[in-house]
Structure 1
Amino acid sequence: MTKRELRAWAKTQRAALDTPALSQRLVAHLAAFLKARRARHILLYHAFNHELDPRALPQAYLQAHYYLPRTAPHGLTVHPLHAPLVKHPLGFYEPAPHAPQIPPTALDAVLVPGLAFDREGYRLGYGKGYYDRFLATLPPHTLTIGLTAEALVVDRLPRDPWDQPVAFLATETGVHPRKEDRVP
């Protein structure tokens, strides 16, 4: 399937899931995983359109500082969780343009939304490349964690040269390292 066809499939599959229940299970796994790794500066996201929702993580893992991304013309920027929010044209909330920023290099962990992920950590997003460009700028020690339902983890997604994999996949069943890229 093409990325366009996969996006349609993933949206249909995700709409049929019990997202609140899956999100609750996911957050419990994430809290334990991040605590074990002593992550203190974590980038969340505001879920929309049936995405798994990590917003309960600050109540489940109190020992961290949380941030949200903003989609700026040049890429994602990072802002404190409690910055003023505005509604993005796609319908999710993000920090206002004047909100204070922090450098992405200050992050210990980045939670990455996606329509689907493959077992090697590559994601199927909405096609704008914001997260791929952002992930490419992070230092190697930053934990990158793709959040999705187990039903939306596939064997392999189509890839473009600029696509960036995450190091871990978090689903309602737990947080698992990606399978390393296989050479055919």
Structure 2
Amino acid sequence: MELNPNDKRAAALPSSSSSKAEWRRWAKRARSRLSIPALSQQMSAHLAALLARHKVQHVLLYSAFGHEPDPAGVMEAHPARYYLPRTEGLELRVHPLPAPLVKHRYGFLEPSPTAPQVEPGVLEAVVLPGLAFDLRGYRLGYGQGFYDRFLPTVPQALWIGFIPQDLIVAALPIDPWDLPAHYLVSEQGVTAC
């Protein structure tokens, strides 16, 4: 996957020395111009193909909110056991679906604290939300660090960024605790990182 330097968005990209906060502002503006429902359907089809290729049967999704791409369409396309995370303090807990859902203080739905829970070791894939990803697989999140703390607990799983092509950039600023995804799934297909 190559970035076209003549792409209209390239001029608006923050510089390589820009802060994560500047990149977050750029990504939110860029994402607001995209047709997320249509892109989510295309991305879910590519995600299903990736999961099938790796024979994945236990998948942690995320609950999309706002203008995020929604990976839920993969559940119809790839038969597997699906899970959602729930925040507890600074950690993520893993709950099998179906589960009773409650609204998180940020507005997305998550499993109820009383929903059954499983150990993260059961997971074979983790689908990652993000404002942007880079070609190395590094993710720009919302800055709370939930996935930064969670990913080291699931080294056995495939880490899959679920992101529109327009939000994949050459390089993002990274911190020592940032970990790269193994794959990026966009509407254009799957890219190994």
Q: Map 1:87-98 to 2 at 5 A.
A: 87-98=103-114
Measure how far apart 1:136 and its partner are: 1.4
- Which whole-Å deviations, capped at 9, do the CAs of 1:67-109 have from their partners, x for residues lacking one? 0001111411100121110101111000011111111110010
The residue aligned with 1:99 is 115
Runs of 4+ with >3 A deviation: none
CA RMSD of aligned residues (A): 0.8
How far apart, in 2, do the equivalents of 1:137 and 1:34 lie? 20
Aligned residue for 2:135? 119
Correspondence for 2:101: 85
Local SS of the residue matching 1:55: helix
Question: TM-score, normalized by length of structure 2?
Answer: 0.89
Matching residue of 1:156: 171
* Unaligned segments of structure 1, at least 5 residues: 179-184
Out of 14, 27, 48, the residue aligned to residue 31 of structure 1 is 48
Quick one: which amino acid aligns to residue 182 of structure 2? A
Provide the C-alpha distance between the structure 2 equivalents of 1:150 and 1:74, rounded to a whole number of angstroms: 30
| Seq. identity, % | 55
In 2, the alpha carbon distance for the partners of 1:149 and 1:65 equals 25
Partner of 1:11: 28
* Structure 1 residue 175 displacement after superposition: 1.3
Q: How many residues align?
A: 176
Give the match's secondary structure for 1:32.
Answer: helix
Normalised by the length of structure 1, the TM-score is 0.93
Residue equivalent to 2:185: 170
Equivalent position amino acid for 1:160 in 2: D
